[in-house]
C-alpha cells in the first residue's frame, strides 16, 4: 500500500512539473504577455474532446508549432470532482468547469428554459460527461456519406475508432488495443443490472455482446472511458501526454473573441486573457474545436455566417454562409422510475448520508475502487421503436438509482430508473448571436418537439420502457412506478408528462455541418467553405446526429481530421460487417404483435 501511494505521489509530481514547464514555455514565447502579437503554425481554439486530440496528433510532427487556447482552466490532478467517476454530478451541475448554458424558452415544451452544461476546462465536456463510450450505429456514418460527407462511411470511420481506443479486453475487428483512449466495461456489480438485462430479454429484445461492435441493436453491458477507477478524459488521454513537447503550448483562461481575417483568409485569432487582448497569427491554420455552441458563435462573431443575421447586429459579413448555427440537433430523454423493495440501490450514496459518502470517497482515494470508481450505468441498449425502423432509434441507460434535475435534486427513497431517449428527432434548432459582445452567451434554440413526430416517438419510448420494467424479473424488486406514475395512463397524460419532464441528453451537434449543399458550412475535411486557413473539427460538423452518446464519435472525427490536416493517407477501410435486423417485419425478436 505504501509503495502504491509513493508511486501515485511521484506520478502527480511529475505531471505538476510538466504543467510548470508548459507555462514557462508560454512566458518565453510571449503568449502570456499583454497586448503582443505572436506566431505559430496551428492555433486550436478549445482543448476539449476534439481539441485535445488535435493538439496531440499535430504536435507529433516536431516541425509544427501548435498553440491551444482554452477558455477554461486546467484539470488539476488533485480535484476529485474531475477524476472520481461517481462524482460526475458535481461538475455536470455546477459552474467551476462548466459554461453553464441555458436555452431560450422552448415553445413546445411548456416554455421551459433548458439547462445545457458544457465543459469549460482541459478535456472539455469529456470532464463533465457520464463517461459512456458509444460509437453510434454503422448506418449513421453511411448516412453521413449520403448527406455529402465524402470519406466518412462506416468502413472509413471504424479504423479511426480503433486507432483512438485502448480497450481492456484487447483487439478485435471492432476494438483497438493500443490507442490513447482507455475504455473499460462497467464493474459496479449491482445486481439490478443483471435483472434489467434479463427483463429486456423476457420482453423479446436480443442480448448483444458489444453495442460498439458487430451488433448495436439489443441490450448489453456498456463501456466507459474509465481507466483503473479514474475518469479518462481527452485531457488525460491526449493533452497531458503531449505536454513535454517543446512545440506544443497551451493557454488557459484564454477566451477567443474573433478570427482574424485577411479577406477570406484566416490568419490568426484574437483572445482575451487576464483583462488584456492578445493576437496570435497562424502560419498554417486556425482550427475551431469549441463544440456545437462555441464554434458557430465564433464564426458569427468573425463575420462568417448568414449575412442578414450578421447585419442585424452591425457585423460586417465576410463570408455569407447561411448554414452557420443552423441544423442544431440534440437527443432528448426521460426517466421511467420504480420504487425498489430491496435496499440494493445507490440511495444512501448521497449527501443525506454523509458518513456513507465519506466512506465511499476514502475507499476511492486509497484504492480507486468501490462505488466511487464507476458511473453506475453499466447496462443499457438500443432498440427500434417500430417495425418500420431500419435501425435502432431509442437508447436505454439503466441506473440503480433515481435522479432529478440533472442530479441537483436527490431521490427520497430506494429506486431505480431507465433513461429512455429517442435518437433521430425531426426537430431542428439554431445557435444565434445575442450581441456582438463575445462574452454574451449565444441564443441556443434547439426548438424541441417542434415536429409533431418527436412527441409521438417519446410517447412510444415511455411505453416500451414501462413494458421492460414490468417483466417478471423485476417483480422481486419493484414496489410500483414512481414516474410517470400509474395515473399517467393515456396518450394525453403522457404528452403532458413529456412536456414537463423531458430533458437534454447533453448532445448538441450539427451546427456547422459537413457537405456541399447550400446549408453546409464545411467540406468533408472540416474546411470552412469559401475561406482558406480555417477549419472546424468537433461535433458541430456532423451532418446529422449519431445514435448514442457523442464523445466517442467526436474523438474519432478528430483522429481522422488530424490525418487530413497533416496530409497523411487515410487508414485502410475496414471490412468488418455490421449487423442488420434479423426480424425486419417486427419491432423486436420473439414478438410478432409489434
**167 a catalytic residue:** no
Q: CA–CA separation, 167 vs 443, rounded Å?
A: 39
- Distances 424 to 103, 206, 394, 398, 454 between C-alpha atoms, Å: 20, 21, 8, 20, 9
- Residue 404 three-state SS: strand
In a 10 Å sphere around its CB, with 0-12 CB exposed, 13-18 middle and 19+ buried, how is residue 376 labelled? buried
Task: Tell me which of 167, 376, 414, 507 is the catalytic residue.
Answer: 507
Query: What is the C-alpha end-to-end distance of the chain, expressed in Å?
Result: 56
| In the block, residue with C-alpha cell 518565453 | 28
Rg of the chain over Cα atoms, rounded to whole angstroms, equals 23
Q: CA–CA separation, 112 vs 102, rounded Å?
A: 10
Cell representation of residue 172: 478485435
Q: CA–CA separation, 483 vs 402, rounded Å?
A: 10
Q: Which residues does 31 contact at the CB level (< 8 Å), separation at least 6?
A: 38, 67, 249, 251, 278, 280
**Phi-psi group of 208: left, alpha or beta (phi > 0 → left; psi -120 to 50 → alpha; rest → beta):** beta
Q: Which residues does 288 contact at the CB level (< 8 Å), separation at least 6?
A: 45, 46, 259, 294, 295, 298, 299, 534, 535, 536, 537, 538
Buried b (16+ CB within 10 A) or exposed e, 385-409: beeebebbbbbbbbbbbbbeeeeee
Enzyme catalytic residues:
507
Amino acid at each position: 500500500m505504501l509503495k502504491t501511494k509513493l508511486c501515485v505521489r511521484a506520478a502527480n509530481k511529475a505531471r505538476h512539473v510538466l504543467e510548470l514547464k508548459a507555462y514557462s514555455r508560454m512566458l518565453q514565447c510571449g503568449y502570456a504577455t499583454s497586448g503582443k502579437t505572436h506566431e505559430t503554425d496551428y492555433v486550436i481554439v478549445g482543448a476539449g474532446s476534439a481539441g485535445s486530440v488535435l493538439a496531440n496528433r499535430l504536435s507529433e510532427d516536431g516541425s509544427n508549432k501548435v498553440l491551444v487556447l482554452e477558455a477554461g482552466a486546467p484539470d488539476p490532478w488533485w480535484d476529485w470532482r474531475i477524476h472520481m467517476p461517481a462524482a460526475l454530478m458535481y461538475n455536470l451541475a455546477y459552474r467551476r468547469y462548466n459554461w453553464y448554458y441555458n436555452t431560450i424558452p422552448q415553445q413546445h415544451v411548456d416554455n421551459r428554459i433548458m439547462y445545457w452544461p458544457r465543459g469549460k476546462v482541459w478535456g472539455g465536456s469529456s470532464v463533465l460527461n457520464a463517461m459512456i463510450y458509444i460509437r453510434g450505429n454503422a448506418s449513421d456514418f453511411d448516412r453521413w456519406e449520403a448527406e455529402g460527407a465524402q470519406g466518412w462511411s462506416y468502413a472509413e470511420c471504424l479504423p479511426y475508432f480503433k486507432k483512438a481506443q485502448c480497450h481492456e479486453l484487447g483487439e478485435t475487428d471492432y476494438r483497438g488495443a493500443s490507442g490513447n483512449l482507455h475504455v473499460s466495461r462497467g464493474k459496479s456489480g449491482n445486481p439490478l443490472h443483471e435483472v434489467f438485462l434479463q427483463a429486456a430479454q423476457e420482453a423479446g429484445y436480443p442480448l448483444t455482446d458489444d453495442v460498439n461492435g458487430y451488433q448495436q441493436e439489443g441490450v448489453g453491458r456498456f463501456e466507459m472511458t474509465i481507466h483503473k477507477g479514474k475518469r479518462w478524459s481527452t485531457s488525460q488521454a491526449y493533452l497531458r501526454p503531449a505536454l513535454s513537447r517543446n512545440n506544443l503550448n497551451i493557454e488557459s483562461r484564454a477566451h477567443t473573441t474573433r478570427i482574424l481575417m485577411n479577406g477570406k483568409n484566416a490568419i490568426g485569432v484574437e483572445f482575451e486573457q487576464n483583462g488584456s487582448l492578445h493576437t496570435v497569427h497562424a502560419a498554417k491554420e486556425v482550427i475551431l474545436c469549441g463544440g456545437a455552441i462555441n464554434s458557430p458563435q465564433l464564426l458569427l462573431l468573425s463575420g462568417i455566417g448568414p449575412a442578414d443575421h450578421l447585419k442585424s447586429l452591425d457585423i460586417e459579413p465576410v463570408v455569407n454562409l447561411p448554414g452557420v448555427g443552423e441544423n442544431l440537433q440534440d437527443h432528448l430523454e426521460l426517466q421511467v422510475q420504480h420504487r425498489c423493495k430491496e435496499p440494493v440501490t445507490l440511495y444512501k450514496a448521497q449527501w443525506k448520508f454523509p458518513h456513507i459518502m465519506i466512506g465511499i470517497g476514502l475507499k476511492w482515494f486509497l484504492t480507486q475502487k468501490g462505488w466511487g470508481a464507476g458511473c453506475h450505468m453499466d447496462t443499457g441498449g438500443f432498440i427500434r421503436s417500430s417495425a418500420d425502423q431500419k435501425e435502432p432509434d431509442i437508447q436505454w441507460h439503466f441506473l440503480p438509482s433515481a435522479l432529478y434535475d440533472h442530479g441537483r435534486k436527490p431521490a427520497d427513497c430506494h429506486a431505480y430508473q431507465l433513461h429512455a431517449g429517442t435518437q433521430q428527432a425531426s426537430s431542428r434548432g439554431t445557435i444565434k448571436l445575442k450581441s456582438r459582445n463575445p462574452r454574451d452567451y449565444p441564443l441556443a434554440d434547439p426548438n424541441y418537439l417542434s415536429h409533431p413526430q418527436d412527441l409521438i416517438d417519446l410517447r412510444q419510448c415511455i411505453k416500451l420502457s414501462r413494458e421492460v420494467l414490468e417483466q417478471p424479473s423485476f417483480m422481486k424488486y419493484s414496489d410500483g412506478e414512481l414516474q410517470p406514475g400509474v395515473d399517467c395512463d393515456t396518450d394525453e397524460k403522457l404528452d403532458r408528462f413529456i412536456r414537463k419532464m423531458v430533458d437534454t441528453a447533453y448532445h448538441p451537434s450539427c451546427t456547422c455541418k459537413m457537405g456541399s449543399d447550400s446549408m453546409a458550412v464545411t467540406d468533408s475535411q472540416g474546411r470552412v467553405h469559401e475561406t482558406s486557413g480555417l477549419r472546424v473539427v468537433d461535433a458541430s460538423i456532423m451532418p446529422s446526429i449519431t445514435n448514442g452518446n457523442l464523445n466517442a464519435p467526436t474523438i474519432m472525427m478528430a483522429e481522422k481530421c488530424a490525418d487530413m490536416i497533416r496530409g497523411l493517407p487515410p487508414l485502410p477501410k475496414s471490412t468488418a460487417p455490421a449487423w442488420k435486423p434479423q426480424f425486419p417485419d417486427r419491432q423486436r425478436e420473439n414478438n410478432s404483435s409489434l
